[in-house]
Amino acid sequence: MRADFKVVLDACVLANYAVANLLLALAEKPRLYLPVWSEEILSETRRTQVGKLKWNLEIADSFQAALRHAFPEAMTCGFDHHIHECANEAKDRHVLACAIQSKAEVILTFNLKDFPKETLSPWGVTVEHPQDYLTMLFRLEPLQVMRHLGGIASKRGCTLEDHLIDLGRFLPAFSAKVLEELEA
C-alpha cells in the first residue's frame, strides 16, 4: 500500500465522526493514505456539525483544531482557478478543484451522484463511497485496520463487535465484511 496516496475527504465524510474517526486513524503513521482537504471543506464540515448535527460550538471548533494540528499537510490551497474548469455538481466543484490541485486520485464522499464519472475522468480522479474505500484498505492491510478498530472500540468502552454494529449504520457493507472475518 502506498502511504503517499492522496485522498480528498469530503465534508460529509469528515462531519460523520464515526467514519472520520476510523479514516483519520488510518491516516496516522504508519499511514495507509494521505488525507486532503481545503478551508472550504473544513468550513462546510463545521457548518454541518453545528447546524445539521447539532454539535456544540466548542466541540466543533476542537475537532477543527485537532484536524489542523494532526494533519497540517492535508490543507490544499490555491485551486480557485480550477473551479470554473470543473463540470460536476456546482456546490461540490471546490472539492474536485481541491483534488486536482493536490493531485489526489480519489475523492471520498457519501454524495456519489455529485461527482459523475465523466466529470472526473479528464482529471484522473475517481470518487468512492467511504465503505468501499475502507473495505479495500481492510483487504490490503487487515491487521492495521483491525488494530485501529479495536483501539476505537476500547476508547469508546465497548466491544469490537458492538463498535462494528454501530459503524454499520453508516458503513453497512464494510462492517458486515469485518464482522464476517471476525467470525471466520
Residue pLDDT, tens place only, 32-86 = 999 999 999 999 999 999 999 999 999 999 999 999 999 999 999 999 999 999 9
Q: How far apart are CA 171 and CA 129, in angstroms?
A: 9
Q: Which pTM value belongs to this model?
A: 0.95
Return the C-alpha cell found at 50: 453545528
Could you state, in order of their start, the residue ranges of all structural domains in the chain? 6-128, 134-183
Nearest one of 66, 65, 9 to 40, comparing CA atoms: 9
Q: Are the C-beta atoms of residues 182 and 160 closer than 8 Å to each other?
A: yes
The CATH number of the domain covering residues in 6-128: 3.40.50.1010
Check residue 3 and give its pLDDT.
67
Q: What's the mean pLDDT in 15-25?
A: 97
Tell me 106's DSSP state: E
In a 10 Å sphere around its CB, with 0-12 CB exposed, 13-18 middle and 19+ buried, how is residue 16 labelled? buried
Q: What is the mean pLDDT of the chain?
A: 96
Distances (CA, A) of 136 to 70, 122, 128: 24, 24, 11
What share of the chain in percent tops pLDDT 90? 95
* Separate counts of helices (H) and strands (E) for the chain: 11, 4
Contacts of 159 (CB under 8 A, 6+ apart): 153
Check residue 44 and give its pLDDT.
98
